[in-house]
């Protein structure tokens, strides 16, 4: 395999976040660049909270053509941008930035990715009820996608009730076609909402693989049932404890890998006006996650 060597004409892209060691985005985007013979490279852009403003200025000065944004900066980056797409404005969160001659425009391809995952899973959600666990940028993207899918009711449940309330008030102002509600992440508060939900989405990192064990689960799984579609936006491990418990009860399940791939495709198209090889990206993503899982297990041992 030929080694790509950047030059003065190479377009720079990357992933902006706080902890990026497990990201598979570079594997996807760099493969797309090489397949299409594009003179571009995708880099890891780790930055601490206190350095975010200075780092963004540096990216502009270095003429980065664009970058993705991940936890915890999908909302924090907003004050530093010059404009927004309609989806980014709806979600009030940004996961993709395009730099046009120093003018930074924020987009939200997470909305596109999540909506596409739900549609391609064949789970008809129009007129049904959903529960979103979490109240961060990913939760807002999911809520924005669900509005476009014409759900009847969306409930946000979160450990910090004030944050859930803030998300709900934001979306109530955007639409009166979907009923929004919120609950604390306490069993006595959320159990009826979980029982009656058709679609349940975990947008929190609870359940992500760690050396402390990967048996964490955000909610009591006893309230899950076979009529539901349970989506965990985590993809390491590919099947979290939440998904295992949902599967035991006969529910349809989905991890976060499809959303990751679909949002990456949308970002790639935005930056390059080209589409990557979808089948190849799916295989790359699956192999990368398996490699990460294997390395995590080996490190634990």
| 112 Cβ contact partners less than 8 Å away, ≥ 6 residues apart | 87, 145, 262, 263, 266
Return the closest-CA partner of residue 179 out of 143, 158, 154.
154
Return the closest-CA partner of residue 158 out of 93, 202, 127.
202
The structure tokens listed for 166 are 């803030």
Catalytic residue among 11, 74, 269, 295: 74
Whether 295 is catalytic is: no
| 279 Cβ contact partners less than 8 Å away, ≥ 6 residues apart | none
Is residue 45 within 8 Å of 17, Cβ to Cβ?
Answer: yes
Is residue 215 within 8 Å of 237, Cβ to Cβ?
Answer: no
Is residue 117 within 8 Å of 262, Cβ to Cβ?
Answer: yes
**Residues with catalytic roles:** 74
């Amino acid at each position: 395999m030929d080694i790509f060597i950047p030059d003065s004409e190479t377009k720079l892209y990357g992933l902006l976040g706080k902890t990026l060691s497990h990201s598979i985005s570079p594997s996807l985007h760099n493969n797309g660049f090489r397949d299409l013979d594009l003179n571009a490279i995708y880099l890891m852009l780790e930055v601490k909270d206190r350095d975010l403003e200075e780092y963004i200025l540096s990216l502009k000065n270095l003429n980065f053509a664009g970058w993705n944004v991940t936890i915890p900066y999908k909302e924090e980056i907003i004050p530093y941008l010059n404009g927004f797409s309609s989806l980014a404005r709806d979600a009030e969160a940004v996961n993709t930035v395009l730099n046009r001659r120093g003018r930074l425009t924020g987009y939200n391809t997470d909305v596109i990715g999540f909506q596409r995952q739900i549609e391609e899973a064949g789970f008809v959600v129009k007129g049904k009820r959903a529960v979103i666990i979490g109240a961060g940028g990913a939760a807002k993207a999911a809520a924005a996608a669900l509005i476009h899918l014409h759900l009847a009711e969306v409930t946000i449940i979160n450990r910090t009730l004030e944050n859930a309330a803030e998300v709900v008030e934001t979306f109530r102002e955007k639409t009166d076609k979907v009923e929004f509600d919120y609950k604390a992440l306490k069993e006595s508060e959320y159990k009826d909402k979980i029982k009656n939900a058709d679609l349940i989405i975990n947008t929190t990192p609870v359940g992500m693989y760690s050396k402390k064990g990967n048996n964490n689960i955000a909610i009591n799984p006893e309230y899950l049932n076979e009529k539901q579609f349970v989506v965990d936006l985590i993809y390491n491990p590919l099947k979290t404890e939440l998904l295992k418990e949902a599967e035991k009860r006969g529910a349809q399940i989905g991890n976060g890998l499809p959303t990751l791939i679909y949002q990456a495709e949308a970002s790639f198209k935005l930056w390059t006006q080209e589409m990557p090889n979808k089948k190849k990206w799916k295989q790359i993503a699956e192999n990368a996650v398996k490699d990460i899982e294997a390395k995590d297990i080996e490190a634990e041992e």
